[in-house]
Structure 1
Amino acid sequence: MMTSLFSIFEPSSSLFSLNLNWLSTFLGYLFIPLFFWASPSRWVLLWSKITHTLHNEFKTILGPSNLGLTLLLVSLFSFILFNNFLGLLPYIFTSSSHLAMTMTLALPLWLSFILFGWFNHTQHMLAHLVPQGTPSVLMPFMVLIETISNIIRPGTLAIRLAANMIAGHLLLTLLGNMGPILSAKFLSLLIMAQILLLMLESAVAIIQSYVFAVLSTLYASEVN
């Protein structure tokens, strides 16, 4: 039972030893609006508003010396958002529910921020290990705690996104499997519950992509 339940998250479809399910990761590029039309559509105007709002917010967090990092973070938000929403469609593999995908996004970002900070702002990074006002006796413990908290950051980023996406999909799958054994009266209630859960998962897809991008921005702001 447990094996068949979690098999919906297994990229098993393959052709010539290539996992075809991972190709759904690139379907999001088909939804990116085209900006070369003479009169932009409402979808283009809406997406432009969203990206400009995120750009201004990230620029406020990073400060004037963001070195174009806001473009990378807005692209990261868009990529995760498209994959989260695509996972809600039937028969499409949810790549953002796998640690292999989320860790691939989180680990290089965190590693680049850490290396940039230690090579260019060494004193600033050392000062972050000991919060201001810490007693001398507690300084070794605070250095240890801050070091551990910095090391586990990519893991928390990856696990937060994957766990939230898996939880909602599992709940939808469990409730959907109850459909054949329910009467018509309870089946209507189940359909209403599935619609409400789908609306909740749509909100979770937006929130988790936003949280991932904002936390990445906050981590980048600490090394400046």
Structure 2
Amino acid sequence: MLVDIFSCFDDKNEVFMSLYLLMWALPLAVLVVFISNYWVSNPGWMLLLGGLKQTIFSQVGRSLGMGLDGFVSLVAVLFTGIILMNLSGMVPYVFGVTSHLLLSFSLGFPVWLSLILSALVVNWSSVVAALLPAGAPPALSPFLVLVETVSLLVRPITLSVRLAANMSAGHIVLGLVGNYFAGACFSSSSVLILALVQVFYSIFEFAICAVQGYIFCLLLVLYSDEHSR
């Protein structure tokens, strides 16, 4: 969340107190925390990480993705990583990487493409047959196939746009409220109201960081339901 309300779209926007090193230090810190069980007995972070894993495992366990080797671990890593990247964007003067469309697209597109290619290799006829709903009128069959194909192809785009748009919108609103709050400190009597709005919306945005990571991974799990066995 940078000082300019539209700076979340610009990863080259540098200010006096830029903390871009945090973007590089965060993956290293996550790696150190993840392997800390080698020298720390029963670390406290295991409870939090176990809760995140259990959330994803419960969702994947109710889908056909449970039968795909390594899929549950991949989604669990994505879920944890997206939440950490979302939260890093809440640090002042740090660029929120998940608000960048290219990054969010690079997270969803490979997983979506791997599911499609894997389904085609396992049973390509089932994938092609799924493009036409059962019981569809013959006259509408070409149109329905076209609609289903377009719907299938735009999934990674909608997946990435949803994440980037929600995170960007939150940063912009926080920037607007922060600007009004800074001005009200010197020239307005509504400073207390604006301070409360800033605090409560910041708490709300922290919750959005976790919810958006969950929705992103949940949609990937739903896409795995169409995988052929």
**Corresponding residue for 2:143?**
141
Q: Percent identity?
A: 35
Deviation per CA, 1:137-188: give whole Å up to 9, x if none.
Answer: 1111110100000010000000000000000100000111112332453111
1:1-224, aligned counterparts within 5 Å? 5-12=5-12, 21=20, 24=23, 27-31=26-30, 32-33=33-34, 34-37=36-39, 39-62=41-64, 64-182=66-184, 183=187, 185-224=189-228
Q: Which runs of 4+ in 1 moved over 2 A?
A: 20-23, 31-39
Partner SS, residue 185 of structure 1: coil
Tell me, yes or no, if the aligned pair for 2:79 and 2:217 is still in contact at 8 Å: yes
Pick 1 or 2: higher relative contact order, CA cutoff 8 A, min separation 6: 2
Q: Could you list the per-position Cα deviations for residues 83-106 of structure 1 after superposition, in whole angstroms to 9, with x for gaps in the alignment?
A: 001111112210000011001111
Distance between the aligned counterparts of 2:215 and 2:80, measured in 1?
A: 12
For residues 21 and 128 of structure 2, the distance between their equivalents in structure 1, rounded to whole angstroms, comes to 40
- C-alpha deviation, 1:53, in angstroms: 3.2
Query: Do the aligned residues in 2 keep the contact of 1:103 with 1:154 (CA within 8 Å)?
Result: yes
Say if 2:8 and 2:99, in contact at 8 Å, map to a contact too: no
Pair 22,146 (structure 1): closer, same or farther in 2 beyond 3 Å: farther
- Given the superposition, is the C-alpha separation of residues 62 and 26 from structure 1 closer, same or farther in structure 2, using an over 3 Å criterion? farther
Residues 126-135 or 63-72, more deviating: 63-72
Give the AA of the match of 1:214: L
Name the stretch that deviates more: 47-56 or 203-212: 47-56
CA distance in 1, matches of 2:26, 2:55: 24
Count of residue correspondences: 216
Contact 1:113–1:223 (CA under 8 A) maintained in structure 2: yes
CA drift of 1:189 comes to 1.0
Give the aligned residue type for 1:172.
L
Provide the aligned C-alpha RMSD in A.
Answer: 2.2
What's the offset of the Cα at 1:49? 2.6
